[in-house]
Structure 1
Amino acid sequence: MKSVDYLLIGHGIAGATLAQELRGRGRRVLVLDTPQPNSASNVAAGLMNPVAGKRYALAWRAEELMPAAAHFYRSLETRFQQLFFYEAPILKLFSSVGEQNTVLARSADHPWGSFVPNADVQLPQVEGLRQEFGGLRIERGGHVLVREALAALAAEGIAEGWLQHETFAWDLLVPATDGGTGFTYANRVRAQHVVCCEGAAAVQNPYFHWLPLTPNQGEVLTVECPELSDQYVLNKGAYVVPLGNGQFRVGATYRWPPFAAGITPDARQELSQRLEAITDRPFRITEHRAGVRPAVRDRKPLLGTHPAVPNVHIFNGFGSKGVMMAPRLAALMVDWLENDVELWPEVNIRRYSALYSPAPVVAGAGS
C-alpha cells in the first residue's frame, strides 16, 4: 500500500500550488485529478491585476500576493525551461468623464501604492485602442499561461508518480482501521491528511458542503486582431490579454446559477461588444470556452480544517483571482498544516462556523 502524508483532490491552480509547496518542504504527496479541459483553471486567462473592478480598488493584500505569485511562476519557468508569466503594464480605461474625474480625485491619496506610480490620465498612444477618456497605467501586472503551467506540472507528476489522473470517489475513503490516524483510499493508499482542492465540485463535498461556495460560470473568447498592439493588457468592462501572433484572450462573463452547460451565444455577443468598446480594429473569434469558478460570497478563499475531523482540510474558493492568490496562500496553508501557524482570518473557514452543524458524511467516509 502506498503511504503519503497528504492526499490532494484536484490539480487546478489551487491543488497544483499546494502540491508544490508541500513537496518543496519534503512531504509525500499524492494528487488525484480528473482532467477537465474546461475547468476554471484551464479556461482562465491567468490575469494578474492588482487594481480591479468598477471601483478601481486595490486588490486584497496585493502587495504581498503579487510578488509571491510572480516568484512562483518564475521558479516554474526555470524548472521547465518554458515561459509562463508575461509581465506587462495594464491599461485600465475610463468609460466617461465622470469616471475619470472620480478616479483622479481618489488618486490624491495614492490608494494604489507602487502599482500606479503616476495617475496622470494621459496614456501612451496605442495602435487600435479607443481611449477617449484616458485611464490608469498599472504596473507589475500581466498574465500567466495557466493551462500550459498546469500541463507541465501534471506531466512531471505522472512521470514521478505523485499525480494520478482518476476521479476521486468519497465512498472509497475510510478511516484507518489499524489504530493509526488518517485514512485509506481504495485499499491502496494510506494518507495522514486529505486536502480538498476540487474547485466548484466542492458543493458536493460531504465534509464541506455547508460552506457558502457558489459556482459561477465564466466564458472567454480567443480572438485574432493583428492590428491591435500587444504591448499591454487592456481592461474596460472586459480584459484583453495578448497571447502573441495577433491573438488575444477576451473575458470574462459572470453568470450565477442556473447557467447553461457550456458556451452561449449571449456571452459571445456580450464579449464581442465589450471588445468593440476597446478597439476600433477588426477582429475574428477563433475560440470560445466556458468554465465554472468556485466563488465565495465574500470573495475570499476557503482555507482550513474540518471542525470535527482534524485530518480533513480545504483549500478552495479562489474564484477569478486564483492565479494571483494561490501561491502565497499555499505557503500559508502549509504553515497552518505543518507548524500550526494561524491562518489569516479573512480566509479561515472559521468565519463561517455558524453555518456548520454536525451531520453524517457519505457511507465509507467516516466522521
Structure 2
Amino acid sequence: MTRVDYLLIGYGIAGAALAAELRARGRQVLVLDQPQPDSASRVAAGLMNPVAGKRFALAWRAAELLPAALAFYREQEERLRVPILREMPIVKLFSSVQEQNDVLARSADRPWQEFVPDATGELPTLPGVEQQMGGLLIRGGGYVLVEELLTRLTALGLREGWLQHETFAWSRLVADPAGGFRYDDRLHARHVISCEGAAAVHNPYFNWLPLTPNQGEVLDVECPELPEGAVLNKGAYVVPLGNGQLRVGATYRWPPFAEGTTPEARAELAQRLQAITSLPFRVTGQRAGVRPAVRDRKPLLGTHPETPGVHIFNGFGSKGVMMAPRLAQLMADWLENDAELWPEVNIRRYFSLFIAAPAAAGSPVSASRS
C-alpha cells in the first residue's frame, strides 16, 4: 500500500501551488487529477493585477500576495527552465469623463500604494489604442502562462511519481481505525485535500459551502500591429502573448451553463476589443472554462468541521494565479504547525451553513488530524 502524508485531489493552479509548498517542506505528497482541457486554470490568461474592478480598488492583500506569487513563478521558471512569467505594466483605460474624474478625486489619498506611482501622469503612447480619456498605469503586475506551467509540472509529476492521472471518488475514501484514510485499499494518507476547483460542488464533505461556479470565455486573437509592452484593460483584458498573438477576456456567466463556447461570448469580447483598439484583428480561437467562485470572493481554506483529516483549498475564482502561492504557504502552516488561517479565507466563516447529517456510505466518520 502506498503511504503519503498528503493526498491532493485536483491539479489546477491551487493544487500545483499547494503540492509544491508541501513537497518543499519534505512531505510525501500524491496528487490525483483527471486533466480537463477546459479547466479554469488552463483557459485563464493568468493575469496578476494589483488594482482591479470597476471601482479601481486595490486588490485584497495585494501587497502581500503579489510578491509571494512573483517569487513562486520565478522559482518555477528556474526549476523548469522555461519562461512562464511575464512582468509588465497594466494600462487601465478610462471609459468616460465621469470615471476619469472619480479616479482622480480618489488619487489624493494614494489608495493604490506603490502600484500606481502617479495617477495624474500621462500614459505612454500606444499606437492603435483608444486612450483619449486617459487611464492608470499600474505597475507590479503581469501574467503567467498557466497552461504551459501546468503542462510542464504535470509531466514532471508523472515522471517522478507524485502525480497520477485518475478520477477520484470520494465515496471510496474511508477512515483507517489506526488513523488517517484509506482509498481503495491501495493508498493511505494522513490528510486529504480538495483542490478540485468547480467540481467541489459535488464533494460530499464540502457541498454545503457557498461555492457558485461561473463560466468564462476567452478569445485568442491575432493583431500584429498592437503594441506588446503592456496588458490593456477596459471592459476586457488584452494580454499580449508575443508574435502578434493576444488573449482577450473574459466573460462571466452564471448557471445554467452553455456547452462549450458560444457565439454570444465571441461577439461580446470582439466588441470589447474594438472599444480598445482601432487596429484590425482576427479571432483565431475561443475557449470556455468554469471558475470556482465564492459568494464573498474569498477562497475557501480549512478543515471539515467533523472530519479533521479532510481539508479544502479551493474557491480562488478569477484571481487564483495571484493568490494561490501565498495562501499555499498559509495552508501548509495551518496543516503542519497549527498556525492560524486568515479569517477572510477560513471556512469557519461558513460553519453556520453546515448541517450535520449521517455519514454517507463509505465516508469516514472520524479521524485524527495528526
Aligned: 1:294 with 2:300: no
Q: Does 1:202 align with 2:197?
A: no
| 8 Å Cα contact 2:5-2:28 kept in structure 1 | yes
Trace 1:270-285 onto structure 2 (pairs within 5 A): 270-285=268-283
1:103 maps to what in 2?
Answer: 103
Mapped contact 1:8–1:194 kept (Cα < 8 A): yes
2:130 counterpart of 1:130 = yes
Provide closer, same or farther for how the CA distance between residues 121 and 100 of structure 1 changes in structure 2, counting only shifts above 3 A.
Answer: farther
Question: Conserved in 1, the CA contact under 8 Å of 2:307 and 2:364?
Answer: no
Hey, what does 1:32 align to over in structure 2? Answer: 32
Q: Structure 1, residues 257-304: CA drift from partner, whole Å, max 9, x if none?
A: 112021011100000000000000000001100000000000000000
1:316-337, Cα deviation, whole Å (9 max, x unpaired) = 0000000000000000000000
Aligned position for 2:20? 20
Give 1:128 deviation, angstroms.
1.3
Q: Any gaps of 5 or more consecutive residues in structure 1?
A: none
> Residue in 2 aligned with 1:348?
346
SS in 2 for 1:286: strand
Q: Secondary structure at the match of 2:191?
A: strand
> How big is each residue's C-alpha offset from its partner over 1:103-155, in whole Å with a ceiling of 9 and x where there is no partner?
01100000000100111252111021000100000001100000011111111
1:78 aligns with 78
Equivalent AA in structure 2 for residue 41 of structure 1: S
Residue identity matched to 1:198: E
Unaligned stretches of 5+ residues in structure 2: 366-370
The answer for the alignment partner of 1:253 in structure 2 is 251
Listed one character per residue, the Cα deviations across residues 183-238 of structure 1 (whole Å, up to 9, x for unaligned) are: 11111110000000000000010000000000100000000001100110000000
C-alpha contact (below 8 Å) 1:47/1:323 kept by paired residues: yes
> How much does 1:156 deviate?
0.8
Partner residue in 1 for 2:230: 232
Give the residue type in structure 2 aligned to 1:271.
L
Q: TM (normalized to structure 2)?
A: 0.98
CA RMSD of aligned residues (A): 0.7
Between stretches 357-366 and 139-148, larger displacement belongs to 357-366
In the aligned structure 2, how far is the partner of 1:142 from the partner of 1:54? 19
Contact 1:170 1:362 in 2 (8 A): no
Structure 1 residue 57 displacement after superposition:
0.2
- 1:312-323 matches, within 5 Å, as 312-323=310-321
Any conservation in 2 of the 1:206–1:361 contact (CA below 8 Å)?
Answer: no
Counterparts of 1:81-230 in structure 2 under 5 Å? 81-176=81-176, 179-230=177-228
1:17–1:327 CA contact under 8 A, matched in 2: yes
Contact 2:192 2:309 in 1 (8 A): yes
Work out whether residues 180 and 309 of structure 2, in 8 Å CA contact, stay in contact via their aligned partners in 1. Answer: yes
Measure, in 1, the Cα distance between the counterparts of 2:255 and 2:85: 32
- AA aligned opposite 1:20: A
Q: Which amino acid in structure 1 is aligned with residue 358 of structure 2?
A: P
Do the aligned partners of 2:219 and 2:247 also contact (CA within 8 Å) in 1? yes
Question: 1:357 aligned to 2:355?
Answer: yes
Shift of 1:362: 3.2
Q: Distance in 1 between matches of 2:359 and 2:44?
A: 32
How far residue 361 of structure 1 moved from its aligned partner, in angstroms, is 3.9
Identical positions, percent? 71
Residue 333 of structure 2 is matched in structure 1 by 335
* Corresponding residue SS for 2:293: strand
3-state SS of 1:296 partner: coil
Q: Distance in 2 between matches of 1:228 and 1:222?
A: 14
- Using the TM superposition, give the Cα deviation of residue 241 of structure 1 relative to its aligned residue in structure 2, in angstroms: 0.2
